[in-house]
Amino acid sequence: MVKVFVNGVEVEVDATSTILKAAEK
């Protein structure tokens, strides 16, 4: 799991989701 901040909110996501979300932008 990777912790990231989204709009000031700490959220734990897995690497695959992070990559998919980055690809959408």
What would the pLDDT profile of 1-25 be if each residue is shown by its tens digit?
A: 778 787 888 878 777 877 777 887 6
Domain of residue 19: give its range: 1-25
Cβ proximity of 13 and 1 under 8 Å: yes
**pTM to 2 decimals?**
0.30
Chain centroid, CA 10 distance in Å: 10
Count of domains forming the chain: 1
Contacts of 18 (CB under 8 A, 6+ apart): 2, 4
pLDDT at 4: 79
